[in-house]
Amino acid sequence: MRKPLTVLLLLVVVVGAALGRSVHQDQDNEAISNTYYRHETEKEMIEEAQQDVSSEDVPLLPRINSHQKWDLIRASGQDPTLRRRKSKNRQQKVVLGRERRDLILSPWRITHVAPKKPVIVPKKAMALPVDTCPTKFDAITKGYNGRTYVFARETVYQIWFEDGLPQKASYLISDLFQGGPRTVTAVLTNSRSGVTILFDGRTAYRFRWNRKHRRFQLAKNTPQELPRNITINPLSAFEWSDGNQVVLNGEHFIIYDAYWNLATFTGHTRRYFPNLPRDLLGIVYNGGGDTLLMYTKTNKLKVYNTKKFKVVQEYPLKLSEFVGCLSR
C-alpha cells in the first residue's frame, strides 16, 4: 500500500512543479507583452502629444514697411519702379482722365473706331470620368472662387456647393490650369489678390481667377524659378490667419511674395507655428479668426486654434466621400 501512495505523491509533486513553471512562464510572457504594449503606447502618445504654449512665448511674424520691401526687391536684382502694383486711387484718376478725354475726342472716335484687342478665352476643361481613388494627395487649397482644389499626381479634384448641394469633379491639372505644371508639390491662394500659386518643385506658377469666363488664367511674368536665397523646396504652403503667404519644408519656412518672387522672411517652423501638424498639406478654411481647418497627409481634417497654438479637434475623412471617387 505504501508503494502506490509514494508513486502518487511523486506524480503530484512533478505535476505541481510543471504547473508552477507554466504559470511563471505565462506570467513572464504576460509581463513582457504588457511591457511591450505599454512602451508602444507611450511612444505613440509622445508623438501625438502637444505642448502647452503660451501666446507670449510665440513671436509674431514680422511685418516690413515699403522701404524695407524695396530694399529686398533691389537686392534680388529687380527694379521696384518697373512693376508697381496699381492702387485704387491711381485707377480712379486714370478713369476720370479717360472720361474727360473721351468728351473732348468723342467726334473723332465716332468716325475712327479703334480696333479692340482680341480676348483669348481659355478652352473649357474636360471633366475626367470617375475612376479609382488616388493613394494620397499632394496639395490642397481653397481658391478665390470659394471652391476647394485637391491635387493628386496629374489630377486635380474640384469641390464646391451649388444650391446647397455638394458638387465634385476631376480634371487634368494641365487642363484646368492651362499653361501650368503636370504635377504639383504645394499650392496656396492669396485671398486678397485672388492669385493661386502652384509649385512644381522649385518652379512657381501664378494663376488668376477670371470671373467673366470662370477660368484660371496664367498671370504675366510666370512661371518663375525660385531664387537661390530660397534654400527650401516647397512641400506645403498656406495663407496664415494674418494674411502672410507661408511656404514650408519640415522645420523651416519662408514668407513668400509671389509677385516679386522673393522671400521676405525665413524662420523655424516650431518657433512660429507650435504644434503645427507635421504632415500638413494645406489650409482649407481661413476665416480670419482664431480657427483654421487643416488637411493632413493622413486624410484628417484638424481644427487648429491660433490663440492656443494647438489642434483642438480632428476628424478622419474618406477619400471616396471627400473628392467623389470610387474607393480602391
pLDDT, residue 22, reads 46
Within 10 A of 237 (CB to CB), how many other CB atoms are there? 29
What pairs with residue 238 in β-bridges?
246
CB 180 within 8 A of CB 171: no
Report residue 5 as a C-alpha cell: 501512495
pLDDT at position 27 over 60:
no
Give the type of residue at 75: A
* Count of Cβ atoms closer than 10 Å to residue 217 Cβ: 16
Region 153-164: mean pLDDT is 92
Tell me the average pLDDT across 258-266: 95
**What is the average pLDDT across 284-300?**
88
More confident residue, 182 or 5: 182
DSSP 210-255: ETTTTEEEEPTT-SEEPPTT--SPPSEEEE-TTS-EEEEETTEEEE
Q: Can you tell me the distance from the alpha carbon of 60 to that of 273, in angstroms, rounded to the nearest whole number?
A: 10
Q: Rounded to whole angstroms, how far apart are CA atoms 237 and 245?
A: 8
Every domain of the chain and the residues it spans: 125-323
For 184-240, how does the pLDDT look when each residue is reduced to its tens digit (9 = 90+)? Answer: 999 999 999 999 999 999 999 999 998 888 889 999 989 999 999 899 999 999 999
- Calculate mean pLDDT across residues 281-290: 84
Q: Which of 31-45, 95-109, 277-291 has the highest mean pLDDT?
A: 277-291
Which of 57, 38, 11 minimizes the C-alpha distance to 273?
57
Weakest mean pLDDT among 73-77, 111-115, 139-143, 253-257:
111-115
pLDDT band at 105 (very low <50, low <70, confident <90, very high): low
Residue 117's Cβ-count burial label (10 Å; 0-12, 13-18, 19+) is: exposed
Q: How far apart are CA 305 and CA 314, in angstroms?
A: 12
pLDDT for the residue numbered 5: 41
- Cα separation of 317 and 8, whole Å? 66
Arch. (CATH architecture) of 125-323: 4 Propeller (2.110)
Q: What is the mean pLDDT of the chain?
A: 80
CB 51 within 8 A of CB 302: no
**pLDDT(59) > 80:** yes
115 has a pLDDT exceeding 50: yes
